[in-house]
């Protein structure tokens, strides 16, 4: 498995292309515009997303999806809400019996579907895998040490894919829990909004720490109820990614939450030119999933109220603090 196709030339797609190339693979990076493909091939940079970071000359940027058939594996690195549309543009035969690694962290807005469920709906003969964990694109592109989780149903095949992607600075740990890894990657975005809002309102590091801990407990309840593995939650895809996303301004969701905590509305943040954070889309989806599975999720509910301007951040925290006392771990 040395020929790798990466669909999506944003920051994360370009960073994963870099990691795959540094691991010694032939990498095809599929771009949404011919202009971007030409720029990457000519300058070995993706300036719009990674600035002056040089990319490996082993990365060949392409426009159009015809060459996907020649790849041994495919990494889907497009926005979560675009996954279905992009898959529909790819020839069915190109993905038959081929590992397709889903790298977007989000739930489909209209159907509540996870990324692997979208893949099985659109390309049922593909082999789904999921890549998630604590990672920032710029760190990976620079070759800074990064560990992630790669989940697949066939553990031996998943190990083969992980071995192909692994390099001196990029280390995938293998799991068989696709459901847990996907849900953790999606839900942590919602909790990152809450933590960013707490910091934006200057409510203190103690409050943020408590919020992270309670977010972990809430996320674990929902993930287990939906069929995920408890041990996934204590690993890179669970606790690791939650901690990173809830503490750094490099996280778009955390930054967006900060703006909410400072009193700005979702529309005001968007009007300022900021890109919409995935957690804003995932929050109502997560809330509906919790209702479907009859799981109490006060933090997800609070984030939804905050996003809809039903309550300010300080009142949100007061309401959470006034909830009935309970035994920790329940």
Q: How far apart are CA 49 and CA 52, in angstroms?
A: 9
Chain-centroid distance of CA 9 in Å reads 15
158 secondary structure, DSSP code: H
Closest CA to 180 of 116, 135, 136, 123: 116
H/E stretch holding 127 reads: strand 127-132
**What phi and psi, each to the nearest 5 degrees, are found at residue 324?**
-55, 140
Q: Which of 42, 45, 188, 225 is catalytic?
A: 188
Q: Which two tokens stand for residue 238?
A: 């669970």
Closest CA to 248 of 212, 203, 284, 206: 212
Q: Note if 330 is an active site residue.
A: no
94 secondary structure, DSSP code: G
- Give the DSSP per-residue string, 175-208: ES-HHHHHHHHHHHHHHHHHHHHHHHTT--HHHH
Q: Which two tokens stand for residue 273?
A: 């030119």
| Residues noted as catalytic | 188
């Amino acid at each position: 498995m040395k020929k790798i196709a990466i669909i999506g030339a944003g920051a994360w797609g370009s960073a994963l292309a870099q990691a795959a190339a540094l691991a010694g693979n032939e990498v095809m990076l599929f771009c949404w515009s011919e202009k971007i493909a030409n720029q990457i091939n000519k300058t070995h940079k993706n300036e719009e997303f990674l600035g002056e970071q040089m990319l490996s000359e082993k990365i060949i940027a392409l426009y159009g999806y015809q060459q996907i058939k020649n790849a041994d594996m495919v990494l889907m690195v497009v926005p979560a809400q675009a996954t279905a549309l992009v898959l529909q543009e790819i020839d069915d035969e190109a993905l038959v019996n081929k590992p397709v690694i889903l790298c977007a962290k989000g739930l489909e807005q209209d159907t509540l579907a996870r990324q692997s469920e979208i893949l099985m709906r659109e390309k049922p003969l593909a082999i789904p895998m999921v890549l998630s964990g604590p990672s920032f694109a710029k760190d990976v592109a620079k070759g800074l040490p990064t560990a992630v989780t790669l989940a697949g149903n066939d553990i031996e095949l998943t190990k083969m894919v992980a071995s192909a992607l692994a390099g001196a600075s990029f280390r995938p740990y293998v799991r068989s829990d696709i459901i847990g890894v996907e849900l953790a990657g999606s839900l942590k975005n919602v909790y990152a909004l809450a933590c960013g809002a707490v910091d934006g309102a200057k409510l203190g590091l103690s409050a943020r720490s408590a919020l992270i801990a309670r977010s972990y407990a809430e996320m674990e309840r929902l993930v287990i109820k939906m069929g995920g593995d408890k041990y996934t939650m204590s690993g890179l895809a669970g606790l690791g990614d939650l901690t990173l996303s809830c503490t750094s301004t490099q996280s778009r969701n955390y930054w967006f939450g900060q703006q909410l905590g400072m009193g700005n509305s979702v529309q005001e943040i968007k009007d300022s030119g900021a890109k919409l954070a995935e957690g804003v889309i995932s929050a109502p989806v997560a809330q509906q999933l919790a209702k479907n599975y009859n799981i109490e999720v006060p933090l997800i509910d609070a984030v939804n109220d905050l996003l809809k301007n039903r309550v300010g951040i300080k009142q949100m925290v007061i309401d959470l603090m006034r909830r009935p006392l309970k035994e920790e771990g329940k």
